[in-house]
Amino acid sequence: MIENLERTTSPKTIHNCHTHIFTSDHVPDRVLPLGAVGWLQQENSAKRLRKVLKFIDPLTSAWYRTFGDPSRTGLLSRFGSMLELSDCRTHDEIFERLALQYPTGTRFVALSIDMDYMGAGVAKKPFLEQIKELAALKQKIGDRLIPFIGIDPRRENLLGLVKEYIDTHKFGGLKLYPSLGFFPNDPRLYPVYEFAIERNLPIMTHCGRGGLHFHGEPQHTTNLEGEPLVGRSNTEFAWNYTNPQAYVRLLEDFNNLKLCFGHFGGHEDWKTYLRDHQRGLEPHQQSWGSQIMNLMHKYQNVWTDISYTAAARELHPLIKVLINDPKIGDRILFGSDFFVVRAESSEREFSIRLRGALGEDDYWKIAMTNPSRFL
């Protein structure tokens, strides 16, 4: 009923600035342990796994309620919901699942990710096939889809590839994912940044402690403060590449690069911000949310989105306050992180719950007004 009402009465256009619609065929075979990627590529495999997770979920939920974190009850069932899309074999199928949960005319930024160099094996369909399929979908459905091309400094002729997909295939921006094994200020990326400034292209970068990370040997031995990282896990080492402090040099070199920090640092860092005193700490000691706010205050070309992070309902009051902050509120974007956010809630639940918490004015500010300027 709500969807039908919006379809007929709303003259406004929602912009979801952070989604993913790649399939399990585009993921390297060792991203998940025990050969799980290959298993998920088999027909109906995700459906069988969801049944298993649904069966054991009450047991794990009871444990979390009694001994662990109560917010993690139902976690396996939610993870099963995310795996539901593993049965989709094309961008078209996944996009249809996404679009049906929003009013007609909603526009979606689809972020491609270059996973070919993360050291996690080989994808059934590597990156060049991923973006080729994304370009075909863009040609089919037009302006409702705004693809961003993933950029990795280790790819040969990166600038030529970017120019081809911006000029010929009408991609709308660039996607950085530094935790796959590189710093955002890698000199090999600078020609691409110069092209982005020339064309006024927006860049979305991953900035949260979760998500993908490199699986090979680290290319650097110290963190940003020069402290040794020997013996650290790849997950923890990847934070070194994604840390907001890793962008300071880049922002000094390119003060007119339109850069958006996806996830606003992540929900765990925002919980730290609410819980702990931040003033007086060195920048690298502050929560990532605080660090991003500091960068937004200093650099007018820095943006952020609330994708996935806003699935934590206890953060909605803080998000509302920040949207009304005159210094940064005009540079906050709506995004969901589909399909990953399905581990926390359905897409429709995420969007409507947030809209109800923020109210119409603030919701449309981040879902239409701000994105129209960013994009």
Per-residue pLDDT tens over the stretch 66-117: 555 444 444 444 444 545 665 677 999 999 999 999 999 999 999 999 999 9
Interval 334-361 mean pLDDT: 92
List 111's β-bridge partners, or say none: 148
Examine the pLDDT at 296 and tell me if it is beyond 80. Answer: yes
Give pLDDT tens digits for 134-168: 999 999 999 999 999 999 999 999 999 999 999 99
Kindly report whether the global pTM for this prediction surpasses the value 0.95.
Answer: no
* Percent of the chain whose pLDDT exceeds 90: 61
Interval 14-40 mean pLDDT: 75
The answer to which of 16-25, 33-42, 49-58, 303-312 has the lowest mean pLDDT is: 33-42
pLDDT, greater one: 52 or 338: 338
Phi-psi region of 211 (alpha: psi -120 to 50; beta: other; left: phi over 0): left
> Residue 202: what pLDDT?
98
As a whole number, the mean pLDDT across the chain is 85
- C-alpha R_g of the chain: 20
Cα–Cα distances in angstroms (integers) from residue 173 to residues 77, 149, 363, in the given order? 34, 6, 23
What is the maximum span of the chain, computed from C-alpha positions, in angstroms? 59
Phi, psi of 195, deg, nearest 5? -65, -40
Interval 258-270 mean pLDDT: 95
In the chain, which residues fall in CATH 3.20.20.140?
2-23+92-374
Examine the pLDDT at 62 and tell me if it is beyond 80. Answer: no
Q: How many Å apart are CA 147 and CA 172, to the nearest integer?
A: 6
Q: Are 261 and 207 in contact (CB under 8 A)?
A: yes
Q: Which amino acid is at 290?
A: S
The answer to which of 25-29, 38-42, 146-150, 269-273 has the lowest mean pLDDT is: 38-42
Give pLDDT tens digits for 206-241: 999 888 888 877 777 776 667 776 666 777 788 889
DSSP letter, residue 312: S
Interval 285-294 mean pLDDT: 92
> Residue 307: what pLDDT?
97
pLDDT band at 8 (very low <50, low <70, confident <90, very high): very low
> Residue 284: what pLDDT?
72
pLDDT band at 39 (very low <50, low <70, confident <90, very high): very low
> Residue 216: what pLDDT?
76
- How many CB atoms sit inside 10 A of residue 301's CB? 17
pLDDT, greater one: 128 or 36: 128
> Residue 56: what pLDDT?
53
Examine the pLDDT at 256 and tell me if it is beyond 80. Answer: yes
Structure tokens at 234: 């790849």
Superfamily of domain 2-23+92-374: Metal-dependent hydrolases (3.20.20.140)
